[in-house]
């Protein structure tokens, strides 16, 4: 998701200077991207910015525990947002998830909802949350492990995708990135939530 957002950014007019905070250097990143390897648990002061995009996320299985999952999907996301606000950013776009709700009985959805609530309270002029359904993308090309649930979901969508409501259908990560960047740059002041259906480009 982060790579697709980076690919969507350099086309801005006038040309934007893009700083990417990464856990490890990205191979094949778009030209003109300034990469900064950071520890998201101990962020340094950030470069001055007008807008910020956050696509941090993991799974409970990959993280190893609910606490480790929360450290990424809540703590790290809010820390980056807070640091960006302190650097002068007034607009922010965050990749969240379908079903995000701070009152949800589902741990994953509850953490995403709590993250949205915390980011919304930081004082940004414009806040946009993208809530995509199952993300489609080439994990092999990115050197990322395949997720069994995603593979299963993608196969199922080939058979039943046409009858599944648009908000639940799998969506290409590129569509999410382009729609999020557009919404952040053209959105009115306030907090905006983009459903998976609204993120689609087809």
Using CA atoms, how far apart are residues 43 and 90, in angstroms rounded to an integer?
19
CA-nearest of 11, 96, 16, 95 to 51 is 16
Q: Could you read off the pLDDT of 27-59 as tens digits, one per residue?
A: 877 777 889 999 999 999 898 999 999 999 998
Check whether 182 has a pLDDT greater than 70. Answer: yes
Q: 201 or 75, which is more confident?
A: 75
User: Can you tell me whether residue 37 is helix, strand or coil?
Assistant: strand
SS3 75: helix
DSSP state of 73: I
Parse the chain into domains and list their residue ranges.
2-196
Reported as a single tens digit per residue, the pLDDT across 117-172 is 999 999 999 999 999 998 886 544 444 454 455 455 445 545 445 555 555 578 89
pTM for the predicted model, two decimal places: 0.85
pLDDT value, residue 141: 45
pLDDT confidence of residue 42 = 92
Handedness of CA 169, 172, 174, 177 (dihedral sign): positive
Query: In this model, does residue 19 exceed pLDDT 70?
Result: yes
- pLDDT in the model for residue 136: 84
Return the exposure string of 141-162: e unless at least 16 CB atoms fall within 10 Å of the residue's CB, then b. eeeeeebeebeeeeeebeeeee
Quick: pLDDT tens for 87-122. 999 999 999 999 999 999 999 999 999 999 999 999
Judged on CB neighbours under 10 Å (0-12, 13-18, 19+), 37 is: exposed
Give the containing element (helix H, strand E) for 21: strand 18-22
Looking at CATH, the fold of the domain delimited by 2-196 is given as: Rossmann fold (3.40.50)
């Amino acid at each position: 998701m982060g790579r697709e957002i980076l690919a969507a950014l350099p086309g801005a007019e006038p040309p934007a200077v893009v700083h990417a905070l990464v856990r490890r250097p990205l191979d094949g990143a778009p030209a003109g991207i300034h990469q900064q390897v950071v520890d998201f648990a101990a962020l340094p002061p950030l470069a001055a910015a007008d807008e910020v995009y956050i696509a941090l996320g993991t799974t409970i299985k990959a993280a190893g525990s609910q606490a480790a999952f929360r450290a990424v999907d809540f703590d790290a996301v809010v820390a980056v947002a807070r640091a960006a606000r302190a650097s002068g950013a007034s607009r922010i776009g965050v990749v969240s998830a379908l079903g995000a709700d701070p009152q949800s009985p589902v741990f994953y959805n509850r953490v995403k909802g709590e993250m949205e609530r915390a980011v919304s309270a930081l004082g940004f002029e414009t806040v946009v949350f993208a809530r995509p359904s199952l993300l489609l993308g080439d994990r092999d090309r990115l050197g990322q492990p395949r997720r069994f649930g995603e593979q299963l979901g993608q196969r199922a969508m080939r058979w039943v995708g046409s009858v599944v409501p648009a908000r639940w259908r799998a969506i290409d990560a590129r569509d999410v990135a382009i729609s999020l960047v557009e919404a952040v740059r053209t959105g009115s002041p306030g907090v905006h939530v983009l459903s998976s259906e609204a993120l689609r480009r087809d």
